[in-house]
Structure 1
Amino acid sequence: MPTETFEFQVEARQLLQLMIHSVYSNKDVFLRELVSNASDALDKLRLAALRDDAPDADVSDLHIEIEIDDDARTLTVRDNGIGMSYDEVGQLIGTIANSGTAEFLKELKDAEEAAEGLIGQFGVGFYSGFMVADEVTLLTRRAGEGHGTRWTSRGEGTYTLETVDEAPQGTSVTLHLKPADPENQLHDYTSVWKIKEIVKRYSDFITWPIRLVPEKQGDGDDPPEPETLNSMKALWARPRDEVSDDEYHELYKHIGHDWRDPLETIRLQAEGTFEYQALLFLPAHAPHDLFTRDFQRGVQLYVKRVFIMDDCEALLPPYLRFVKGVVDAADLSLNVSREILQQDRHIEMMRRRLTKKVLSTVKDMKAKDLEKYATFWREFGAALKEGLVMDAENREAILAVSSFASTHDDSEPTTLAQYVERMKDGQDDIYYLTGESRQSIENSPHMEAFRDRGIEVLLLTDPVDEVWVDAVGEFDSRKLRSVAKGEIDLDAKDDGKDESEREKQSEDFAGLLGWMREQLDEDIKEVRLSSRLTVSPACVVSDAHDLTPALENMYRAMGQEVPRAKRILELNPGHELVKGLNQAYKEREDRTGLADTAELLHGLAVLAEGGQPKEPARFVKLVAERMERAL
């Protein structure tokens, strides 16, 4: 087949230009990325062989080779792993078929210091070779196939692909190195000591041998043996006092595709009838796709040091999907599948123990290092709160490490236990309000009476908050109550009126309330006087057991059709607009114009809570007419 020339996808071309013009100073990481890719290819081949998916593959001596040619100024990273077919090379390397590509490029441009990890995080580590090379050649043959593929590019917008008859199993990447430029951190990567130093720093724990191939000697000399550069020691199997924090951090960066150190390292060793070791990490920041359906969750699963699968979802619940790490079991089958894992009793035991260990680590962090805990909660609190809905067994433990914004303090969040300690005498319930932002919640008319009486309200702004408050229901025998649902009686004695005055007020407004209920029948189920309003004329609330509008919209976005619940309209009897409307209702026999006012009042209440009137154009028309009359 002749050599074909292709153009890079637009995003790939932009990425290449960023690489070529050196987006970050530490160019050494190109070797870490190429070795990591080679390690993944070896893992995949051994797994395929275990499952009899690659019957013709040679798995007798799986390894990674690094070869230096000083004269030609080339560096080659070679593996005898799974390899790629012609089509796979075009798909994986010619384009970047990643939904996060645009965001990746933006992050890369915005923060040079973040670039080192973004490359691995977005699965485009291969491109980092262009930081140190003028030309890159990739030669690969997929295990079991008869022909290989050669890919070549100078990173200038095009690449070539050709089928080759002779190619060893696996993949080799040859970098035609740029001249060394120490001032710009471009080292001489034909230097043996430099290659050894990079491998030791970044890849010592890789489970496959990384061998440095010696340069060719003179004719007739016996070729020297390759030198293995890495220890291949599983960090999770070594005693804690033999492993430095830096070594743990490099392992995390390798498996987490991250450039920053982890927030916390968690070790666990289980002995007895079922033995396993775990080394888990809490990242310091949330990945961009944490809340997307395609997020790759789970930790790596090994059996007796043999890699079995990446992203093993069965080992941790979905709400801990941000946790990275390794679990190495002693007694599982090497041929275990994802389907079998879901039913395995030992896996369930490990899942429960690992979950409790992660939650207890967060609890310790909260008690001993508030700054670190604050970082964790800011990045992962929204995900962790999903466990309040789906994991009843650990609900108490999750609540113990959860914190929430509240009206008590603008800067420091509170726990539910701290809220209960501050509750006023006679207060029975824990009050909260959900919304899109702290500002929108604090400006909500539902908050007015609570603010006036100095009653603390939790301010919940994550989408999951709409769900977990109903699932949990109560804390410390005290109900969780939304200030925007049901009737709120904030100690009627505080309003300065005696019982007879309130009864007289109810009688005075009874006619208006009944009439407005008829006028707004399509949208509301009740009109009543409010005890929660002190400034605004009106607000809409949900019945105690109805879904909120936000929750209705959430279900619809997930494709679940739910009936739209009618709301309750509450009026502030002390507001001049409501007083005037009541007076006009009593005095006028023709109430046509008043019907428009009632509709406007309802629309204003919907807007005040962040909603939208049912017919925005009609609402605007009514407002314009009123303004015209006023002028």
Structure 2
Amino acid sequence: MTVETHGFQTEAKQLLHLMIHSLYSNREIFLRELISNASDAADKLRFEALADASLYDNDSDLRIRIDLNPDDGIVTIHDNGVGMSKEEVVENLGTIAKSGTSQFLQGLSGDQKKDAQLIGQFGVGFYSAFIVADKVVVETRRAGAAADQAVRWTCEGEAEYTIEDIEKQDRGTTITLYLKDDALEFASELRVRSIVKKYSDHIGIPVALRKRADEQDKDSDEPTYDYDTINNATALWTRPRSEIKDDEYQEFYKHICHDFVTPLAWSHNRVEGKLDYTSLLYVPGHAPVDLYNREVSRGLKLYIQRTFIMDDASQFLPSYLRFIRGVLDSNDLPLNVSREILQHSPAVDSIRSALVKRILDMLEKMAKESSDDYRTFWREFGAVLKEGPAEDFANKERIAGLFRFVTTKTEGDEATDSLADYVSRMKDGQEKIYFLVADNLTSARNSAYLEAFRKNDIEVLLLTDRLDEWTIAHVAEFEGKELKDITKGELEESLFADTEDKADKNDSSSTEAIEKISNLLKDKVESVRETRRLTDSPACLVYAEDALSPHMRKMMEAAGQKMPVDKPVLEINASHPLVRQLGSESDEQRSAELTGLLYDQAVLSAGEQLENPALFVKRLNQLLFEGAA
């Protein structure tokens, strides 16, 4: 019999090292992870047997069995699920076959609690066996394969593993753990029973523990054993809500998602009528590190008449809700369902629409009844939810109502205010919701564009996320109130008519300043006019209502698109000393210097880059020198 020795993939080797040397804070999770994997193997066999019933090999009674040998410190877990071929063993047990591996390893911190959460989050629960075991042996035979096509995988450390061909009479997988000296408690029947009840009571197939039979064969020296089912063995989503406790919902989430963090909320619903289906939807407590990796499959676990079909049925959720986890069990889809059928089924569209409404209901309820949980949700998933208005036009206002913002009246820098909060605080006569886009909160809070708004006590949304402006463009209005960028167009005269501390009405300096600036900047600006926006600053750039903002143009250019540059309007504060000086200046060279300085300041205030920073510094230094003199 040939024994092959293989080295672990680098990432798997690092993970094994962590398991063996670092993680001891919650060691019992190894059993939950191995039972979850066994349950998944049973689900996969059910699905494959839809097309080939011979895979059951006259044994369709799917189960998980646990044998304990406390004297020798051995725990053995058997399942008669789909099993693995030799190639699958190498792929699944020799590598971390999961996208986002590099981010995962970068996230490992040495903090036992946090690292344990990452391990579950990335679905690499098999490796948790090494938290309690010095040696792990896996014997497996793929359903449909011959008895002599089974494989034994053995690992006693973190450097390498061996694989050999063996004979195995039954399909499925057997995992044998040789416990460490300080982990012998996990060979105790009482301890294992309590772990299974705590973590795996909801598994949809029996988990049975071997025990001595009540009646022994008197003619045999060998003890005889029975198996005692120690879990409920009923799929949790099929039970009435009134019979399910919160901790059962939480443990079921951790089982299906391989997560260690309690979910923020869940919704369990049975629909009967034109469509017949059950959904159990969860909002996770934290975002996975690969949330923005578009190559990662996401979606609900799909069951048809309680038969597992697929892990990531993304057709039932729009992309902006890709963080939702859970189970969908339908009676209205064909058992031989394929992704092509899912993409072209009216039933799928109806279920999808209903699930979206239920998820939005769940988020609205969380926002209303549990503000702390909703703040956590917004920190973790707010950026993904912002994709919603562009993708889901029918629900765009409901989605927008879930957004949270920092405003000029927000205490602190955390986004806590909704659009409804803003509308409730609007001044009499105010018909628009105002917002400002900036690179960061510091720039936003100190922007010259806010001067008139502060003087008139008008609140402004401060948008600093890279998606914000794009998202707002798809919202357009909320509760009948238009959303307006304060750097574009003209302001409502009724709200800002008295903003300017105007100079003497007969003073011609502002008119002369406008004429000079218009002539000197005719290639750079569309026009020059007096402003209602400014009280302290001398000038600002204002863009047309339909023009791209500097922020959006930078985003598009960063994506490789060549964007046209729209000439802005330069608005000047006629009461500012620099503008007055420019209006009365008779020296043409001096006028050009002051105009250039005025324009460059406006460019900086708009968040754009100067064409010639060195010239700006020279002009500024000259002005400072003259002032000092």
Question: Closer, same or farther in 2 for the Cα pair 1:560/1:75, shift >3 Å?
Answer: farther
Describe the shift of the 1:625–1:322 C-alpha distance in structure 2 as closer, same or farther (beyond 3 A).
Answer: same
Q: Which amino acid aligns with 1:415?
A: S
Give yes or no for contact 1:27–1:132 (8 Å, CA) kept in 2: yes
Tell me the number of residue pairs that the alignment of Structure 1 and Structure 2 aligns: 614
| Structure 2: distance between partners of 1:491 and 1:175 | 75
1:492 equivalent in structure 2: 497
After superposition, what is the alpha-carbon deviation per residue over 1:244-267, rounded to whole angstroms, capped at 9, x for unaligned? 111111001112222122222212
Please name the residue that 1:152 is paired with.
Answer: 154
Residue 403 (1) aligns with residue 408 (2): no
Out of 619, 623, 626, the residue aligned to residue 617 of structure 2 is 623
**Are the counterparts in 1 of residues 152 and 164 from structure 2 also a CA contact under 8 Å?**
yes
Between the aligned partners of 2:603 and 2:475, the Cα distance in structure 1 is 28
Q: Aligned with 2:292: secondary structure?
A: coil
Question: Against the structure 1 CA distance between its residues 516 and 89, is the aligned structure 2 distance closer, same or farther, given a 3 Å change threshold?
Answer: farther
The amino acid that maps onto 1:346 is A
Which residue is 1:100 aligned to?
A: 100
**Which segment drifts farther, 66-75 or 125-134?**
66-75
Query: In the alignment, which residue of structure 1 is the partner of 2:177?
Result: 175
Of 476, 479, 482, the residue aligned with 1:479 is: 482
Q: Is the 8 A contact 2:265 2:282 kept in 1?
A: yes
User: If the length of structure 2 is used for normalisation, what is the TM-score?
Assistant: 0.88
Kindly provide the amino acid, as one letter, of the partner of residue 175 in structure 1.
L
Q: Which residue of 2 aligns with 1:454?
A: 457
SS at match of 1:159: strand
Match for 1:443: what amino acid? Answer: N
Q: Equivalent residue of 1:120, what SS?
A: helix
**Runs of at least 4 residues off by over 6 Å:** 215-218, 628-631
Please point out which of 470, 473, 485 is paired with 1:470: 473
Query: Is the CA contact (8 Å cut-off) linking 2:452 and 2:496 kept in structure 1?
Result: no
State the match for 2:60 in structure 1. 60
Q: Is the 8 A contact 1:139 1:167 kept in 2?
A: no
Aligned residue in 2 for 1:339: 340
Q: Counterpart of 2:189 in structure 1: which amino acid?
A: V
Counterpart secondary structure, 1:188: helix
Deviations along 1:135-160, whole A, 9 cap, x unmatched? Answer: 12223333345533333222332223
Distance 1:221 1:109, change over 3 A: same
Cα deviation, residue 512, structure 1: 2.2
Q: For residues 6 and 530 of structure 1, do their structure 2 counterparts lie closer, same or farther at Cα, with a shift above 3 Å needed? A: farther
Alpha-carbon distance between aligned partners in 1 of 2:97 and 2:571, rounded to the nearest angstrom: 52
C-alpha distance in 2, partners of 1:148/1:426? 78
1:214–1:598 CA distance, 2 compared to 1 (3 A): farther
**Contact preservation (8 Å) 2:489, 2:543:** yes
Amino acid at match of 1:492: A
Cα distance in 2 for residues equivalent to 1:306 and 1:300: 11
Residues 162-171 or 128-137, more deviating: 162-171
Deviation at residue 470 of structure 1 after TM alignment: 1.8
Amino acid in the other structure paired with 1:44:
K
Distance in 1 (CA, whole Å) between partners of 2:103 and 2:274 is 47
Check conservation: 2:263, 2:284, Cα contact below 8 A: yes
Amino acid at match of 1:441: A
Q: Which residue of 2 aligns with 1:517?
A: 521
**What's the counterpart of residue 48 of structure 1?**
48
Q: Is the 8 A contact 1:600 1:623 kept in 2?
A: no
Give 1:620's aligned amino acid: A
- How do residues 17-56 of structure 1 correspond to structure 2 at under 5 angstroms? 17-52=17-52
Report the 3-state secondary structure (helix = DSSP H, G, I; strand = E; otherwise coil) of the residue aligned with 2:286: coil
Give the residue type in structure 2 aligned to 1:451: R
Q: Name the CA shift for 1:55/1:192 in 2 (closer, same or farther; >3 Å).
A: same
Residues 108-187 of structure 1 aligned to structure 2 (within 5 Å) = 108-109=108-109, 111-145=111-145, 147-164=149-166, 166=168, 168-179=170-181, 181=182, 186=183
- Of 157-166 and 276-285, more deviation after overlay is shown by 157-166
**CA pair 476-189 structure 1, distance change in 2 beyond 3 A:** closer
Q: Which secondary structure does the structure 2 equivalent of 1:127 belong to? A: helix
Query: 1:222/1:112 Cα in 2 relative to 1: closer, same or farther (>3 Å)?
Result: closer
Deviation at 1:34, TM superposition (A): 1.0
Is the contact between residue 114 and residue 259 of structure 1 (CA under 8 Å) also seen in structure 2?
Answer: no
Change (3 A) 1:547 1:115: same
Shift of 1:397: 2.4
Number of the residue aligned with 2:188 = 191
User: What SS does the corresponding residue of 1:346 show, helix, strand or coil?
Assistant: helix
User: What secondary structure does 1:226 align onto?
Assistant: strand
CA offset digits 1:307-356 (Å, max 9, x no partner): 12222212222222222211211232111112211222222222222221
Which amino acid in 2 is paired with 1:386? E
Equivalent position SS for 2:82: coil
Aligned residue number for residue 434 of structure 1: 437
Q: Return closer, same or farther for 1:428/1:532 CA change in 2, 3 Å cut-off.
A: same
Distance 1:117 1:392, change over 3 A: same
Shift of 1:622: 5.3
Higher mean C-alpha deviation, range 484-493 or range 249-258: 484-493
Distance 1:445 1:451 in 2: 10
Aligned to 1:320: 321
- Distance in 1 (alpha carbons) for counterparts of 2:600 and 2:99: 40
Question: Deviation digits for residues 454-492 of structure 1, max 9, x if unmatched?
Answer: 210011233332123222212233211011222335522
The structural deviation recorded for 1:125 is 0.9
Q: Is the 8 A contact 2:42 2:62 kept in 1?
A: yes
By how many angstroms is 1:432 displaced?
A: 0.7
SS in 2 for 1:493: coil
Please, what is the CA RMSD of the aligned residues?
Answer: 3.1
Does residue 206 (structure 1) correspond to residue 207 (structure 2)? The answer is no
- Could you tell me how far apart the structure 1 residues matched to 2:448 and 2:581 are? 20
- 2:358 alignment partner in structure 1: 357
Separation (CA, whole Å) in 2 of partners of 1:323 and 1:500: 62
Give, in whole Å, the separation in 2 of the partners of 1:505 and 1:582.
4
Note the C-alpha offset of 1:2.
Answer: 4.1
Could you report, residue by residue, the CA deviation over 1:423-474 in whole angstroms, capped at 9, with x for unpaired residues? Answer: 2233221101123332221122222221222210011233332123222212
Separation in 1 of the partners of 2:88 and 2:366? 44
| Structure 1 Cα separation of the partners of residues 97 and 614 of structure 2 | 45
Q: Secondary structure at the match of 2:547?
A: coil
Larger mean Cα displacement after TM superposition, 270-279 or 559-568: 559-568
- Mind listing any 5+ residue stretches in structure 1 that lack a counterpart? none
Q: Is the contact made by 1:298 and 1:312 (CA closer than 8 Å) also made in structure 2?
A: yes
Aligned residue in 1 for 2:225: 224
Tell me the SS of whatever aligns to 1:414: coil
Q: For residues 539 and 169 of structure 2, what CA distance do their matches in structure 1 show? A: 77
Call closer, same or farther: CA 1:240–1:97 in 2, change over 3 Å: closer
The within-5 A match list for 1:206-285 is 206-214=203-211, 219=220, 223-285=224-286
The one-letter code matched in structure 1 to 2:614 is V
> 1:20·1:131 contact (CA, 8 Å) conserved in 2?
yes
Q: Is the Cα–Cα contact under 8 Å of residues 596 and 622 in structure 1 kept in the other structure?
A: no
Give the Cα–Cα distance (whole angstroms) in 2 for the partners of residues 627 and 82 of structure 1: 77
Offset, 1:207: 1.5
**Worse-superposed segment, 594-603 or 572-581:** 594-603
Structure 2 match to 1:304: 305
State the 1:361 CA deviation: 2.4
Contact 1:69/1:215 (CA < 8 Å) preserved in 2? no
Please give the alpha-carbon distance, in whole angstroms, between the structure 1 residues aligned to 2:440 and 2:232.
51
Supply the distance in 2 between the matched residues of 1:102 and 1:440 (Cα, whole angstroms): 34
